[in-house]
A and B are shown apart, each in its own frame.
Chain A
Amino acid sequence: MKTDRRLDLLQGTLDLLILRTLVNGTKHGWDIAERIEQISQHVLEVNQGSLYPALHRLEHQDWIRAEWGVSELGRRARFYRLTAAGRKQLELESENWERLTDAISRVLKMA
Chain B
Amino acid sequence: MNWHDVRLRLRALIFRKQVEEELSEELNLHIELQTRKNINQGLDEAEARRRALVKFGRPTYFAEECRYEWRVSMIEHLLQDSRYACRMFRNNSAFTLVAALLLALGIGATTTVYSLAYRVIQDTLPVEKADELIELGYDDPMRGFLTGFSHPGFQMFLKENQVFSEMFAFTDTFKLDVTRKGTAEFAEIVFQTTNMYTALGLRPALGRLINDGDGQPAGGIPGAVLSFRYWQKRFGGDPNVIGETIAINNTAFAVIGVAPSAFQGLILGASPDVILPLPVIESVRRVPVLNNGASLGLHVMGRRKPGLTLEEIRLALNPLYKTFVDHAISSFPPAFAGGIKAASSKWQFRAQEARRGANSEVRADLRESLTILLSITALVLLIGCTNLAGLLITRTESRMKELSTRLALGCSRERLIRQLMTESMLLAATGGLFGFAISLAGRPLLLNLLTSRATSIDIGPNFSTAVIAGSLSLVAGLCLGVAPVVTAVRISRGSFAVGLSRYRWSNGRRALVVSQVAASLVLLVVAAQFAFSLQNYRKVFPGFRPDHLVLFDVSVRGRTITYARELRQRLANVSGVVAVSHSLSAVGQMNWTTPIQVPGFQSSSPGGNFTGRNIVGPRFAETLGLEVVLGRDIEIGDTRDKPSVAVVNEAFAATYFSGRDPVGRAFFFVDSMDRPHTIVGVVKNARDRGLKNRVAPMAYSSFEHDPLGGLTFAVRVNRQPEDVMPEIAAVVRELDASVPMGQMRSMNAQIDESLLRERMLASLSSVFSGLAAIVAAIGIYGMLACVVSRRSREIAVRIAVGARPSQVRWLALKESVLLILAGTAIGIPLSFTMSSAVQSQLFGIESDDPRSIVLAVASVLILATAASWGPATRASRVDPVAALKVE
**Which residues of A are interface residues toward B (Cβ below 8 A)?**
28-30, 33, 47-50, 52-53, 56-57, 59-62, 65, 71-73, 75-78
A71 and B37 alpha carbons, distance in the complex (Å)? 14
Q: Contact partner of A61 among B5, B26, B59, CB < 8 A?
A: B5
Given A52-B66, A56-B69, A73 and B36 touching (CB < 8 A)? Answer: yes
A49 touches B59 (CB 8 A): yes
Secondary structure of the B contact surface, majority rule:
helix
B57 touches A48 (CB 8 A): yes
A56 and B5 alpha carbons, distance in the complex (Å)? 10
B27-35, B95-103, B369-377, B438-446: which lies at the interface: B27-35
Q: Contact partner of A62 among B2, B32, B57, B66, CB < 8 A?
A: B2
B69 touches A49 (CB 8 A): no
A33 touches B36 (CB 8 A): no
Q: Contact partner of B70 among A49, A50, A60, A75, CB < 8 A?
A: A60
A76 and B30 alpha carbons, distance in the complex (Å)? 11
Q: Contact partner of B5 among A28, A48, A62, A72, CB < 8 A?
A: A62
The 3 closest A-B pairs by CB, nearest first: A49-B62, A47-B57, A53-B65
Residue on B with the closest CB to A65?
B4
Given A62-B2, A73-B36, A76-B25, A48 and B30 touching (CB < 8 A)? Answer: yes
A60 and B4 alpha carbons, distance in the complex (Å)? 7
B32 partner residues in chain A, CB cutoff 8 A: 73, 75
Q: Contact partner of A59 among B8, B27, B30, CB < 8 A?
A: B8
Q: Give the distance to chain B from A82, nearest Cβ to Cβ, in Å.
A: 14
Residue on A with the closest CB to B63?
A52
Given A48-B57, A60-B71, A73-B36, A53 and B29 touching (CB < 8 A)? Answer: no
Q: Is B885 an interface residue (CB 8 A)?
A: no
A72 and B35 alpha carbons, distance in the complex (Å)? 13
A52 touches B65 (CB 8 A): yes
Residue on B with the closest CB to A68?
B22
Q: Contact partner of A49 among B5, B33, B56, CB < 8 A?
A: B56
Q: Give the distance to chain A from B61, nearest Cβ to Cβ, in Å.
A: 7
A28 partner residues in chain B, CB cutoff 8 A: 29
Q: Give the distance to chain B from A14, nearest Cβ to Cβ, in Å.
A: 12
A22 and B429 alpha carbons, distance in the complex (Å)? 49
B29 touches A49 (CB 8 A): no
B56 touches A48 (CB 8 A): yes
B66 touches A29 (CB 8 A): no
B4 touches A62 (CB 8 A): yes
A48 and B260 alpha carbons, distance in the complex (Å)? 73
Given A47-B62, A49-B56, A73-B36, output 12 extra A-B contacts at Cβ < 8 Å.
Answer: A29-B26, A47-B55, A47-B57, A50-B62, A50-B65, A52-B23, A52-B63, A53-B62, A53-B69, A61-B5, A62-B5, A77-B29
Q: Contact partner of B30 among A33, A57, A61, CB < 8 A?
A: A33
A73 and B36 alpha carbons, distance in the complex (Å)? 9
Q: Give the distance to chain A from B496, nearest Cβ to Cβ, in Å.
A: 28
A76 and B32 alpha carbons, distance in the complex (Å)? 12
A76 partner residues in chain B, CB cutoff 8 A: 25, 29
9 pairs, CB–CB < 8 Å, chain A vs chain B: A47-B55, A48-B57, A49-B56, A50-B57, A52-B27, A52-B66, A65-B4, A76-B25, A77-B29
Q: Is B559 an interface residue (CB 8 A)?
A: no
Q: Is B58 an interface residue (CB 8 A)?
A: yes
B33 touches A30 (CB 8 A): yes
Q: Is B505 an interface residue (CB 8 A)?
A: no
B30 partner residues in chain A, CB cutoff 8 A: 29-30, 33, 48, 52
A29 and B61 alpha carbons, distance in the complex (Å)? 17
